[in-house]
Amino acid sequence: MIKIYTDGACKGNPGKGGWGALIQLGGESIEIFGGELNTTNNRMELIAVIEALDKVRAEPSRVMVFTDSTYVQKGISEWILNWKKNGWRSSNKQPVKNQDLWMRLDELKQGMTIEWNWVKGHAGHPENERADFLANQGVESI
């Protein structure tokens, strides 16, 4: 079982952003992070998950993802089905924001069994706090 803890950060929204992920694979922990200029917090939250899944896609396919973003957790486990059915339009008939990232995430999850978990951010959850630290490292790396 692979466990992935992700977070995004943004200084200004839009603004300078970062993403981070802690990947627990067997007895090994892998930390990844990065950042972008002129981005949004939601994009950083999505990119954190995308980068982590991309890193482990060649590994066994059972994954638990932990995110403090309800946007990511509900988006991938609930909303995406209707977005795809409605031609990537939201319930108010507008184009889905961050469609490029949602499509990439949808593609990456193919062939994997993923459990999507929401955790409360900034609540002392050690792995989530580490992901937050890594996301802020991503901001600083810009």
Supply the pLDDT for residue 58. 83
Distance CA(85)–CA(83), nearest Å, equals 6
Query: In the chain, what are the domains?
Result: 2-70+112-140 (3.30.420.10)
* Pair type for strands 62-67 and 2-12: parallel
Per-residue pLDDT of the chain in tens (142 residues, 90 and over written 9): 999 999 999 999 999 999 999 999 988 999 999 999 999 999 999 999 999 999 998 876 799 999 999 999 999 999 999 999 999 999 899 999 999 999 999 999 998 999 999 999 888 889 999 999 999 999 999 9
Distance CA(83)–CA(91), nearest Å, equals 8
Residue closest to 76 by CA, chosen among 104, 105, 48: 105
| Two structure tokens written together for 116 | 């999507």
Query: 140 by DSSP, 3-state: which?
Result: helix
- Catalytic residue chosen out of the listed positions 51, 68, 75, 138: 68
Element (H, E) at 73: helix 70-74
Supply the pLDDT for residue 7. 98
- Catalytic residue chosen out of the listed positions 45, 51, 75, 138: 45
Q: What is the DSSP letter of 77?
A: I
- Catalytic residue chosen out of the listed positions 34, 35, 75, 132: 132
User: Given the structure tokens 């694979």, which residue do they identify?
Assistant: 25
The pTM of the full predicted model, rounded to 2 decimals, is 0.95
Active site residue 132: yes
Active site residue 106: no
Supply the pLDDT for residue 59. 76
- Give residues with Cβ within 8 angstroms of 131, minimum separation 6: 5, 6, 7, 20, 21, 22, 48
Active site residue 122: yes
Supply the pLDDT for residue 60. 67
Active site residue 125: no
